Amino acid sequence: MTRPTIVAMGGGGFSMEPDNSLLDDHVLDLARAERGQQRPRVCFLATASGDSPGYVASFYAAFARRAEASHLALFIRTVDDIESFLLDQDVIYVGGGNTENMLAIWRVHGVDRILGKAWESGIVLTGLSAGSLCWFETGSTDSFGGLAPLSRGLGFLAGSHSPHYDGEETRRPHYHRLVADGTLPAGYAADDGAALIFHGTELAEVVASRPDARAYRVERGPTGAAVETELPTRYLG
């Protein structure tokens, strides 16, 4: 029996760490274990970057030799039956970019609903940045230029999320402020190079491609300030 699995990377993977494949290797290992495919079928969604041709090309360069690689384009759509296409995958990998735009486009094409079916069926869902934030109810996004609360994520995972926690100096204080004042519910933050692994809706493990990358639980404390708790992290190197 496969189980719902999400690997939410704060940052990293082939696009941010082209010379460090530890996170992507771990996703493929999870897919092999969960799906029983030695050469997993991996589909890339570059919606958040406007289906950037360069981004898609980088994905194929990173995955084509070790997986059955494909991508789903939505700006110039070439797949008629998106549901059958996505539910035939072992991994759905979501790239970074504008989270709000991505979610809006997904909803137009029904991808949000299909991803829910994919998750329930045990297809490994993963991604970085926008591809990490989208699985949660809400979080901190730069979709509008400056940082702001995400309007509505897919909600597979409860609470909020902040990617790039150590990668941009404003991320941590902004997330703390939104959790402290109640704008965002409690949630998880992940550094670049750190990935939160959820089985079902429960956090199973944090792994990292960098020795110093970490993830955190951030909650509103009894005094009204944000309380940050570092989570145990396993370095994959």
- Provide the annotated active-site residues: 129, 164
Output the 3-class SS for 6-36. EEEECCCHHHHCCCCCHHHHHHHHHHHHHHC
Output the 3-class SS for the chain. CCCCEEEEECCCHHHHCCCCCHHHHHHHHHHHHHHCCCCCEEEEECHHHCCCHHHHHHHHHHHCCCCEEEECCCCCCCCCCHHHHHHCCCEEEECCCCHHHHHHHHHHHCHHHHHHHHHHHCCEEEEECHHHHCCEEEEEEEEECEEEECCCCCCCEEEEEECCCCCCCCHHHHHHHHHHCCCCCCEEEECCCEEEEEECCEEEEEEECCCCCCEEEEEECCCCCEEEEECCCEECC
Cα-to-chain-centroid distance, residue 62: 17
Triad 107, 60, 93: Cα angle to 5°: 35
